[in-house]
Amino acid sequence: ATFMLLGGCSTAPPASPPASLDTPQAWSVDVGAESSSKPMTATAWWRDFGNAELNALVESALLANTDLRIAATRVAQARALVESTDADRYPQLGLAASLQRGRDSSADPKANVGRGALRASWELDIFGDKGLASLAAERDADGAELTRQALRVAVAGEVMTAYFDAQSLARREAVGRSSVETLERLIDVTHRRFQAGQINKLDIDRLEAELGLERANIAQLKGAREVRLRQMAVLLGRSNPPMGLTFPSNDKGSSAMPALILPIELLERRPDVRGPARAIEAAVARLGVAKRDLYPRITLDWSGSKERLSIGGASASPTTVIGYGVALSLPVFDGGRIRANIEIHDAKAQEAMLVYEKAMLVALADAEAAVVQLASASESVAALETAQAAGATAVTKSERLFNAGLVDINTVLATRRSYLKGYDGLLQGQGAQLTAAVAVRRAFAGRV
């Protein structure tokens, strides 16, 4: 009766909150002017860009990525461990059978003994240790699933970043080829002017040096694009990079700042924050299990068997044997093992709380950094677009002046070179803006 009363007082130890963390009520970055009214998609957020080619790549990666498949097997292991832990809470039933033939000594006659037995045992969970063990296993399984979800968010973001990088590099490579063509035409004009005695050889050498640098830049851009495509292949679970990518245009406004949720909503949404919270619950539950080792253990046993004995050819009637009882065990002296185990699990619970606090800080900083990056990238692109428009106007005017005979072809080609350099800068800025837009959606993403 005393044990039953003690069991009624045994509950899971409460999980104390992690170190004090003041969650901000709003973001420190003011994005009111840049933020759109369109909220980002909570799950399939890559579809916000309206790029069918990109959608197919991301969804293929979510199915075939090796890291995600590994994470799925870990979730299956954790779920199986929950079932294994839960099994300890139920009665155990076993069958046994034996057949023995022989004699105990040379003076005894030969004997045949046949035996069949059924045994049942049940360790009562009076103090809740088995329930806490099951709770810890369940929280571990939840944490494994949340880890898988966080990895899905990361894989989707990495595929998108690699795709937009490859897109930007391909477009810059095309601009570089146009610059090479312009330089080649300019060098040809310069050669004719040199032959006419209008300029010296220094101008030709300078332009040829620039041509060599431009060709080297194209080779670097091509190499960087191949590297990004091969990195994308790993994310897609393939041995070869994707071929035939056309890099279609994205939806207008996809690079703009989406409507942002509040910091507290972000922490409730992100799986890489919710996972450490489950780890705290699992660690506290295991601490409770360790403390229950100080309490007695009570086991109910029941066994039944039927035996048949045959001696010297004469058989005795089968005999049925039934036994039952209660076993009680209580640790008295173990050299401090139980206390040391409690201290270990208490330290692990404290560690889990600190990991949870760090996860929240990282999530908030990650979101703020992504928002700042997108805001600055958008501002930079706006300035570059203005500069590019001015460059295009200058090219048009120089061509008109050339047609009117007011400037030579050298001026036209030099103006076009300047325009192409500005266009390359704009492509770099647009690529950075797309990457930042992916970072914002990845930072604010929930499940995938």
Dump pLDDT digits (tens) for 341-369. 999 999 999 999 999 999 999 999 999 99
pLDDT of residue 381: 93
Most confident of 133-137, 241-245, 312-316: 133-137
**Joined tokens for residue 273:** 């924050």
Going by pLDDT thresholds of 50, 70 and 90, the confidence category of residue 138 is very high
Give residue 16's pLDDT: 44
pTM comes to: 0.84
Distance CA 182, CA 424 (A): 14
Please tell me the least confidently modeled range out of 6-20, 35-49, 87-101, 145-159.
6-20
Residues 310-334: what's their mean pLDDT? 80
Three-state secondary-structure class, residue 43? coil
Contacts 24+ apart (CB under 8 A), 387-396: 387/422, 387/425, 387/426, 388/419, 388/422, 388/423, 388/426, 391/415, 391/418, 391/419, 391/422, 391/423, 392/419, 394/418, 394/419, 395/419
Rounded average pLDDT over 122-143: 91
Residue 392 reports pLDDT greater than 70: yes
d(CA 191, CA 186): 9
Q: What is the phi/psi pair of residue 39, to 5°?
A: -75, 155
User: CA–CA distance from 407 to each of 126, 159, 179 (Å)?
Assistant: 98, 49, 21
Tens of pLDDT, residue by residue over 53-84, are 999 999 999 999 999 999 999 999 999 999 99
- Mean pLDDT is highest, among 29-38, 103-112, 200-209, 370-379, for 370-379
| Residue with token string 């810059």 | 172
The reported pLDDT for the residue numbered 7 is: 45
317: region left, alpha or beta (phi > 0 left; psi from -120 to 50 alpha) = beta
Tell me what the mean pLDDT of segment 33-42 comes to: 60
What pLDDT was estimated at residue 185?
A: 87
Tokens of 257: 């700042």
Give the pLDDT confidence score for residue 124 in this predicted structure: 85
Residue 15 reports pLDDT greater than 50: no
- Higher pLDDT: 21 or 349? It is 349
Angle at Cα 130 formed by Cα 129 and Cα 134, nearest 5°?
Answer: 120
What is each CA distance from 411 to 120, 399, 417, 422, in whole angstroms? 99, 9, 10, 17
Dist CA 166 CA 431 (whole Å):
9
According to the model, what pLDDT value does residue 14 have?
Answer: 45
Nearest alpha carbon to residue 437 among 164, 258, 255, 260: 255
Smallest CA-to-CA distance from 61 within 165, 196, 170, 160 is with 160
**What is the structure's pLDDT at 304?**
85
